[in-house]
Amino acid sequence: MSARIGIIGAGKAGERQARGFHVHPDATIVGIADLDRTRAANLAAEVGATAVEDWRDLLRAGIDVLVIATPHSLHVPPVEAAAAQGVHLLVEKPIATTIDDAQRIADVAGEAGVRLAVSFVHRFREEVQRAKAWLAAAGAPQVSRETQASRRLASDPSWLTNAALAGGGVLMYSAIHGIDRLRWFHGEEVVSVHAITRRYAPDNDEVEDGIAMVLQFESGSTATLTANSPTYATAPSVWETEVHAKHAMVRVRTREFAETAHADGTVERYDAGNDEETARPHYNFERQAADLLDAISSNREPLANVQDGVRALEVCLAAYASAARGAPVATEEVREGTA
């Protein structure tokens, strides 16, 4: 489909989203909105768009898709305004910072009949998709682990350590991708979370820098997740997921490889970056943009849809409630507002 795209936010996420749509032959980026007019102008010049300060000007220009790459707590108003005009949506993760806002976004998009994708963009990496395909034949997942570590840089936006805007620390900004990956790989929902958070960066007194979690799924299968985002060097950064299923083990390291070992002794491995497409650092944003445009034209759900966003947020909020309570918290408690 031919689509006119508007993007709110010209930071790191907005840049990658803009470049992802810019290469699509049927997409035209109409405008980039950001309160930092210079930053918006630079990105707009790169993709042949117009820079504006007020995101409402994007809707006035007549667009088909609105990309929302703002601080996490600011997603609801542009979703409401876009959906009211029948504009489809791509919303950065987390979908919101509260379950009420997340459900409001889901309800608004559903009532308007617009497609809404949540930017769990790592689903589109080739090594992750290979791992997902192997798991389809590996039997039911039993025990999994998720490990993430990446340095928080001085160049990162200051709002990442503002609890009101970000909703949380490393879990909301980075490890929520790991929550989504575990949900997707297991093919079922998390029902209980036990978490401990730590705060240790010298410039941060509001949100967590590290977290350790145990997740229980509907079937009784279990996963652990650890994530850290210190201000000191963590070279090399790492993001690795390992799933032990009934008939095979599958391991994936983001940007590096996917491998599987079967019960019959056979082993398979895929090394990322060995072909022209995956050698490019952010090809997954291009795939995500193409998936949303195809979902709109084919009248289907995007690969990562609004409910994926809501469920991942539930797990994060259950983790924070668990850390405060010092005991496991059921995601149902979050859903019902009793956590």
Asked if the structure places residue 200 within a domain, the reply is yes
The residue among 234 and 276 whose pLDDT is bigger is 276
The percentage of residues in the chain with a pLDDT greater than 90, rounded to a whole number, is 93
| CA neighbor of 152 nearest in space, from 174, 177, 176, 119 | 174
Q: What is the mean pLDDT of residues 69-87?
A: 98
The predicted structure's pLDDT at residue 281: 85
pLDDT for 234 beyond 80:
no
Q: What is the mean pLDDT of residues 305-322?
A: 98
Q: What is the mean pLDDT of the chain?
A: 96
Tell whether 149 and 271 lie within a shared domain. yes
Asked if the structure places residue 161 within a domain, the reply is yes
Domain containing 97 — which CATH number?
A: 3.40.50.720
Tell whether 113 and 152 lie within a shared domain. no
3-state secondary structure of 320: helix
Tell whether 180 and 106 lie within a shared domain. no
Q: Residue 65 pairs with which residues in a beta bridge?
A: 5, 88
Q: What is the mean pLDDT of residues 111-134?
A: 98
Asked if the structure places residue 260 within a domain, the reply is yes
Tell whether 327 and 252 lie within a shared domain. yes
pLDDT for 140 beyond 80:
yes
- pTM here is 0.96
Tell whether 13 and 54 lie within a shared domain. yes
Rounded to the nearest 10 degrees, what angle do helices 12-22 and 283-298 cross at? Answer: 60
The predicted structure's pLDDT at residue 48: 97
Residues 201/107, Cβ–Cβ less than 8 Å: no
The predicted structure's pLDDT at residue 175: 97
Structural domain harbouring 199:
122-277+312-334
Tell whether 213 and 98 lie within a shared domain. no
The predicted structure's pLDDT at residue 5: 98
Question: What letter does residue 145 receive in the DSSP assignment?
Answer: E
Asked if the structure places residue 283 within a domain, the reply is no
Asked if the structure places residue 63 within a domain, the reply is yes
Tell whether 216 and 126 lie within a shared domain. yes
Asked if the structure places residue 50 within a domain, the reply is yes
pLDDT for 233 beyond 90:
no
The predicted structure's pLDDT at residue 204: 93
Tell whether 135 and 254 lie within a shared domain. yes
| CA neighbor of 3 nearest in space, from 295, 233, 279, 251 | 295
The predicted structure's pLDDT at residue 141: 98
Number of domains composing the chain: 2
pLDDT grade for 277, boundaries at 50, 70 and 90 = confident
Asked if the structure places residue 307 within a domain, the reply is no
Those residues with Cβ within 8 angstroms of residue 276's Cβ, 6 or more apart along the chain or in another chain: none
Domain containing 168 — which CATH number?
A: 3.30.360.10
Annotate 73-133 with DSSP letters as a single string: GG-HHHHHHHHHTT-EEEEPSSS-SSHHHHHHHHHHHHHHT--EEE--GGGGSHHHHHHHH
Asked if the structure places residue 339 within a domain, the reply is no
Tell whether 128 and 266 lie within a shared domain. yes
Tell whether 190 and 318 lie within a shared domain. yes
Question: Token digits for 41?
Answer: 């102008």
The predicted structure's pLDDT at residue 163: 97
pLDDT for 160 beyond 80:
yes
pLDDT for 295 beyond 80:
yes
Residues 206/189, Cβ–Cβ less than 8 Å: no
Which residue type, as a one-letter code, is found at position 298? S
Tell whether 73 and 57 lie within a shared domain. yes
Tell whether 65 and 116 lie within a shared domain. yes
Distances 209 to 42, 83, 149, 170, 279 between C-alpha atoms, Å: 32, 35, 10, 6, 30
Which residue type, as a one-letter code, is found at position 188? E
| pLDDT tens digits for range 161-194 | 999 999 999 999 999 999 999 999 999 999 999 9
Q: CA–CA separation, 303 vs 291, rounded Å?
A: 7
pLDDT for 112 beyond 90:
yes
Residues 252/241, Cβ–Cβ less than 8 Å: yes
pLDDT for 235 beyond 80:
no
